[in-house]
Amino acid sequence: MIELKYGASRVEPRQDAAMQRFRGHRVGQFIHWGLYSLPAGRWEGKDVDFAAEFLPRVAKIPQQRWEALANDFTLADFDAGQWADTAVALGARYMTITTKHHDGFCLWPSAYTDFHMGNTPSGRDVLAELIEAYEARGIDVNFYYSVLDWRHPDWRFTLENDADHTAFARYLDFAMKQLEELAARYPSVKGFWFDGTWDQSVKANGWWTWEVERMLKERIPGVMVNSRLRADDLGARHIDSNGLLMGDYESGYERRLPEPWDHSVAARDWEACMTIPQASWGYHQGPWAQSTLKHPWDVVDMIARCTSLGGNFLLNFGPRGDGSMAPAEVEIATRVGEWLAVNGDAIYGCGFAEGWDHPGWGYFTCSTNGDVFAIVTRVPVSGRIRLQLPAGLELVELRLLGSASSEQPYKRLADSLFEVELGAALSTGPLVFATETCAKAGPVSRKEPNPDVLD
């Protein structure tokens, strides 16, 4: 073990009530909203086929012209209740909103900059409105905060000389004050999701990331902090130089998920975040983004995969510049949420099913009571799946969630191998079977198929 002052603060995952609540959520709504939502990937009549929130950099927009967008951020169609309804429709249990993205614009009236929502025509405190609307519906709110800041004069990507060190020390002080401000103004926030911490300047100041985590936890008991905030004494990020997770959950999975058979990830808490279009977080109006929207069943597959490996899934929404949600995203949220309304027993509060080998046709998940669910997202061309039970278990019943008939026909192929005919139910999307099993009586033996259970 290397002696670290600013490494991980624990060896084992957190088990307090706030952590268990977060872990049980499994489905969250990410929201990227800011000035970039107004041009939405188009500048001077031309589509810029890159993530919409990167527009000022990619299109090299002069700073003054970017800042002038604040005058057009009128919130004509912004209704926090409607956003929260979208989260309810999705079946999300938490929401994470960009309080400040890389362009430095703040969604709250910060005392430490003029570049904020309070100086836009409406002057509304949208974070307060959102917290009220989401919490009224029982949905936790978390804050995304970009440490990287393209606008602040003291931001540095690298620290090359004394002047850089002095400026960047001022920057870290500014960001700390903003975070103290957010914690003081919105004390019911459940977590902070840090971003923009990958530059050498931040890695050289691991102490600051440690100090931010400590400060937030002191002020907001139970608060969650993602691993992306953190760097240790030696500049190692997410995982410290001793191999231990920093922060409360690992947040490195972005627009990619762990391999479905990689059970090793279940040893830690983690969260994956995902865009609805191929690659834009902010709303992008062009065909580059709009022709790549994911199908709701693809989203269900990802939710099931994350749950089966003990992780949360944070699905991103990019509301438009006028404050309205994009209808195509609301539609996808609704379809996913309808599936969760029927099949949520296999997702919420569930995790890795120990002993159940990854099946090619989908995933196994396990509730805290030990109930195991089989989620079928990749249907074999035969229309049948093979269900392999862990050694020592006997199948008592298979129940299709959302189905009127209480039992699903299956037949035994070998001792603990069963075949299930999926049949007509398939047309309704990914199927979920609740399995009921019991321990086999006597020593585990390889029996011949029992003719009584064959159809």
> In the stretch 63-102, what mask flags binding to ligand JFZ with x, by CB under 6 A?
----------------------------------------
Question: Which residue has tokens 């608060």?
Answer: 223
The strand ranges marked E within 32-178 are 42-43, 46-47, 94-100, 140-146
Q: Residue 30 CB, nearest distance to ligand JFZ (Å)?
A: 7
Structure tokens at 243: 């191999």
Torsion sign (Cα): 321, 171, 154, 58: negative
35 or 398: CB nearest ligand JFZ: 35
From candidates 273, 289, 398, 422, binder to ligand JFZ by CB under 6 A: 273
CB atoms closer than 10 angstroms to residue 275:
23
Minimum separation from the CB atom of position 46 to ligand JFZ (A): 21
Pairing type for strands 94-100 and 27-31 reads: parallel
Quick check: helix, strand or coil at residue 311?
strand
* Among candidate residues 93, 110, 112, the one with its CA nearest the CA of residue 24: 93
Helix intervals (H) in 220-292: 287-290
Q: How far is the CB of 284 from ligand JFZ (least distance, A)?
A: 12
Nearer Cβ to ligand JFZ, position 118 or 252?
Answer: 252
Q: Does residue 199 interact with ligand JFZ by CB under 6 A?
A: no
Smaller CB distance to ligand JFZ: residue 198 or 348? 198
d(CA 203, CA 379): 45
Give the number of residues written for the chain.
455
Distance between CA atoms of residues 360 and 380, nearest Å: 9
Binding mask 5-34 for ligand JFZ (x = CB under 6 A): ---------------------------x--
Q: CA 176 → CA 9, 142, 171, 208, distances in Å?
A: 20, 17, 9, 9
Q: Which residue is nearest to ligand JFZ (CB)?
A: 281
Cβ proximity to ligand JFZ, 319 vs 349, nearer residue: 319
51 or 340, CB closer to ligand JFZ?
A: 51
**Interacting positions 36-65 with ligand JFZ (CB under 6 A):** 51, 53
Strands (E), 116-169: 140-146
In angstroms, give the least distance from the CB of 253 to ligand JFZ.
9
Which residue, 24 or 252, is less far from ligand JFZ as judged by CB?
252
- 148 vs 116, 181, 194, 245, CA distance in Å? 16, 18, 10, 22
Nearer to ligand JFZ, 272 or 422 (CB): 272
254 binding ligand JFZ? (CB under 6 A): yes
- Please say which residue, 303 or 431, places its beta carbon nearer to ligand JFZ: 303
**Tokens found for residue 130:** 């959102």
Among 195, 232, 250, 301, binds ligand JFZ (CB under 6 A): 195
Residue pair 362/261 in contact (Cβ under 8 Å)? The answer is: no
Q: Is 281 in the site for ligand JFZ (CB under 6 A)?
A: yes
* Count, residues near ligand JFZ per rule CB under 6 A: 8
Binding site for ligand JFZ (CB under 6 A): 32, 51, 53, 195, 252, 254, 273, 281
